[in-house]
Chain A
Amino acid sequence: MSWVGLDKLNKLKERFDYVQINESDKGFHSVEVPKENFKDFLKFIKDNKDYQFKMFIDWTIIDHGAKADPRFQGVLILFSPEYKERIIVKTWATEETLPTLTDLWAGAKWAEREAWDMFGIRFEGHENLVRMFMWETYPYHPLRKDFPIQGYEEVELPSLNEEERADQLEGLQNYSRKHTALPTMQDLEITQKKRLPHKKSQIVLNWGPLHPGTHGTIWFLFDMEGEYVQQCDIIIGQLHRGVEKLAENLNVQQIIPYTDRMDYIASMNENHSVCIAAEKLLGIHEKIPPKAKYIRTMLAELSRINSHLLWLGTYALDLGALTMFLYTFREREKIMDIFEGISGARFTINYFRVGGVYADLPYGSLNAIEHFIKDFPTRLSDYETLLTRNRIWLKRNIGVGVITEEEVYSYGLTGAVARASGVPYDLRIIDKYDAYGEVKFDVPVGENGDAYDRYLVRIDEMKQSVRIIQQCIKELRKMSKNDPFFYQPEDKKMKITIDGRGTKLFKGEVYAGADNPRGELGVYIYMPKDGIKPYRFRLRSGAFYNLQIFPKLMIGRPIADAITILSTIDPVVGETDR
């Protein structure tokens, strides 16, 4: 498992006597460091050649409840590309402040803004600590434990139906005329001003939130000198639904349908992350029946193809190649037919469960998938003939949005964006979850880290996915129809059900995830005691951290490159906003 070993942690403790080790029987050890020594400790493990935890993964907060003192705890997750290990470093946020980590990892900038927005923790030394998702004048910090799940309903918002048709419903099914706080135009103006406090040039161009090129509701601000961007910022949050807050009030199987609505293009993979994290917390991930493992691996890869096809189609469409869009959507249609037949839904799939999958494959599924896989490589080569060596395509992509290896580590970039910059960071080979340890595939990595490399990496990933699916089909064909597809616990204390009722989580903490088409979706679950509802359920979104580098890449580039760069970073707003 890709986790730092106890021997290394003990060595750290010998060196720094303030380090406290929290051992975990599942192997997810964490260390606790006092706030005063936090930065020094981090500098040491980042640079020392025995540790080299230089890749930023996540930086978030746990609220221990209004009665606890100190109440908030910072949780930092780092990865060491050298030793392929993760570590969790915690510290207490006394007086609701923490030192900023933006000077160590650039990726901490948005993480800290999110922590301020959701928990009200101030980060000393942060360059512009404004809210991440909510508008600037919003008065609450919603992920605090004392904030009610339904929010404070204080704005009068009668619906037209109720006004005009007197369409009143009774009891619980009634609609309240009161609504939680809503931003006014004024609030948005204040928000916009705060995001770009110092205007550098003449014009600030607003792009989005409702623009087809932004692929969702993202609001970009470009401070422009002629055609060139001097400064850029992004306002997201229009799709923020508080999945983390919702998850704290549900059992783990019930959380899975909510993750469908995050990265709605690859919902299979989002489900996968939650399943893996919960299974690792329960310590049953290795014991999942092989049939379920292979089904999950196969469908996750099919979903990756689906997602990359949407990316390719819209990316080419944005750069002016309309035909590609039609071709890739034809292929997606087939994949979604397969998903519909297997799981019952085309988009919001909810097929994976903690412990396996909810039903066996229906008759003919493997034939349908084989049929698709047989045909797909020729389609892929059609796409490549249209694009890969087309001179317009080359001109618009080569050398645009170059990301260096150092930036990958410092911003915590994952997925194809990291791999195109030459960093072979792929959870499928690092963690070898599900059946990824047993199938053969290559990880494509680029050299230059520009838009063109990101394009080539994703194209090659689709080819690798085809390989993986072929191997999974071969394995599944050897199995019996009576083989189990869901884990039956041997331990009396453990209860896992397909419908979720009574599914329990164990005390402990875990960070695990899956390599999604848009980067690593990591799930951090913290449980102070056994229980049904997760106490803290953190979703580390790959798209969110990948998007963070966009303003940097845009500086000095003409506005037309915004489309190329955004498309190759490929965020999906459901996941950035959660």
Chain B
Amino acid sequence: MGIKKVGLNRNVEPQTLSEKVFFLDFMKGLKTTIKHLFRKVITVDFPFEVIEPAPRFRGVHGLRNVDGTERDDFDAWVKKLKIKPPEMGETRCIGCKFCQAACPVPEIFVIKTKKLDVPEDHPHHGLKVLDRFDMDLSKCMFCGLCTLACPTICIIHTDIYDLSTYTRRGWVLDKEMLSKIADDFIARRGKEKYDDKSNWPDWQKIWNDNDTARAKAWDNDPPQFGPNYIDQQ
């Protein structure tokens, strides 16, 4: 570790006379630009060609439904919060509000549960279900803290990035909409992102390596992926 002096005459030669007279500095510059003239196009022709966001991309939120890939402690959480055990296809959300607690802007969320209105001898007597789950994405900064806090991997980020709407109302997503977004995302790309243990399985790729649009941005020479660590497959 040391100190390296830089400066004209230190690591840069001043211009020589021949360079000055024959404009060699400009020639060299032009050579570089002409070299680039014969390279392939690297820009992506959006919207006809779209780069697929990375699996970890933090886009519009979704609320996942029960699909048999819950973590082992899911039932324990459901019991703890006195939620009606969800069936296949019902939301995973247990109304614990951890996401709201972790969020720097808690006003984004409106989360409410309600008691089930069933007779006393019904097995679900005294249990609750999720009633409302609204998110106002106009205030969201897509930091991802809510998804890290969720004990059931219910609230997730999807790869949707275009959120423009004509009114502010359009940014407020309710639980049906959020579930639909998540279902759609899981069907499309769930296999790239999740296994039944965590958000971060070690095979999760940095991005989809057969995406031709992204390859273009990498000068048509995209990196070949391999394991990071010594004991990774």
Contacts and interface: CB of A to CB of B under 8 A. Distances in A.
A361 interface: yes
A224 to B, nearest CB: 30
A499 B3 contact: no
A391 to B, nearest CB: 6
Interface stretch (A102-110, A121-129, A135-143, A336-344): A336-344
A360 interface: yes
Interface stretch (B69-77, B82-90, B223-231): B223-231
Contact of A476 (B2, B28, B228): B228
Query: How many B residues touch the partner, as a band?
Result: 35 or more
Interface stretch (A11-19, A47-55, A171-179, A523-531): A171-179
Nearest to B99: A499
Contacts of A341: 54-56, 205-207
Contacts of B98: 499, 501
Nearest to A342: B206
B41 to A, nearest CB: 11
Interface stretch (B4-12, B117-125, B178-186): B4-12
Given A341-B207, A389-B19, A445-B6, A169 B168 contact: yes
Interface stretch (A83-91, A202-210, A251-259): A251-259
Interface in B110-155: 110, 134, 136, 141-146, 148-149
B225 A364 contact: yes
B164 interface: no
B225 A442 contact: no
B206 A362 contact: yes
B214 interface: yes
A546 interface: no
B228 A364 contact: yes
A457 B6 contact: yes
B205 A171 contact: no
A483 B232 CA distance: 12
A453 interface: yes
Contact of A359 (B1, B4, B199, B228): B199
B223 A391 contact: no
Given A337-B217, A362-B56, A389-B13, A368 B6 contact: no
Given A481-B232, A501-B102, A452 B8 contact: yes
B168 A167 contact: yes
A370 interface: yes
Interface in A413-433: 424, 429
Contact of B6 (A175, A342, A456): A456
Nearest to A246: B104
Interface stretch (A38-46, A229-237, A380-388): A380-388
A239 to B, nearest CB: 16
Interface in B1-45: 1-8, 10-15, 19-20, 25-26, 28-29, 31-33, 36, 42
Nearest to A478: B230
Contact of A442 (B4, B36, B136, B222): B4
Contact of B15 (A167, A250, A394, A480): A394
Max chain A Cβ within 10 angstroms of own Cβ: one of B4, B169, B229: B229
A368 B167 CA distance: 40
When A and B form their complex, which 4 residue pairs have the shortest distance between CB atoms, in order from nearest? A364-B225, A341-B206, A371-B223, A257-B143
5 contacts: A250-B104, A385-B32, A452-B8, A481-B229, A499-B145
